[in-house]
Amino acid sequence: MYLVKNTPNTVWRGMGQTSILAGSDFRTLMYMDSKEKHLAFIREKEPFKVRCKTAIFSSDQIEIIEKYGNWFQALTDGIIEPITDMQKEFLKVARKEKMPVSPYEWAWFKYLGRLEWESQNKHIMEADYRLEEDSFYNRDMAKQQRGMMFKVMTDNHKR
């Protein structure tokens, strides 16, 4: 993690995400105690922007990620230090040192795993799986087949 000075903003760059803090917000963050820093990330006004496909997540997990994602990201990137044992356990899960137990750990574990999988499999994510032509059995073929069967049945009935 490192800081880059921009005018008039300061940019936090962590492992996965960049956060821009206005000058006064940055000074405020520097002088806050640990608990206040944690609460500042939890109270973030904008929901966390999920940067992967959400099909594998339950609605509860998406809600957890959107509500607490800024805080989880700050903990994971080291912007804020863990102050409780549960937060230390959460970081172990984020580093894949321990399997998740709580719904919050599961949601973030799946999110980080999905980000990693999508970055390693971009070719799959960008693939277009639509058929150009359904040559096996299309409507015209079905219509033609019904016509042939009708002709055979009527010819056989006439005898």
Q: In percent, how much of the chain has pLDDT > 90?
A: 43
The count of structural domains within the chain is 1
Name 11's bridge partners. Answer: 4, 20
Mean pLDDT of 8-20: 40
Please list, residue by residue across 102-136, b when 16 or more beta carbons sit within 10 angstroms of its beta carbon and e when fewer do.
eebbbbbbbbbebeeeeeeeeeeeeeeeeeeeeee
Look at residue 41 and tell me if it is in a domain: yes
Kindly state the greatest CA–CA separation across the chain. 99
User: Tell me: the pLDDT tens digits for 84-126?
Assistant: 999 999 999 999 999 999 999 999 999 999 999 999 998 887 7
Look at residue 140 and tell me if it is in a domain: no
- What range defines the domain where residue 89 resides? 2-127
Look at residue 156 and tell me if it is in a domain: no
Look at residue 143 and tell me if it is in a domain: no
User: CB under 8 Å to 22, separation ≥6 — which residues?
Assistant: 8, 9, 10
Look at residue 132 and tell me if it is in a domain: no
Look at residue 157 in the predicted model and tell me its pLDDT: 80
Look at residue 94 and tell me if it is in a domain: yes
Look at residue 134 and tell me if it is in a domain: no
Look at residue 24 and tell me if it is in a domain: yes
Mean pLDDT of the chain: 78
- DSSP code per residue over the chain: -EEEE-SSEEEEE-SS-EEEEEHHHHHHHHHS-HHHHHHHHHT-SSPP---S--TTS-HHHHHHHHHHHHHHHHHHHTSS---SHHHHHHHHHHTTSS---SHHHHHHHHHHHHHHHHHHTHHHHT-----S---SS-HHHHHHHHHHHHHHHHHHHH-
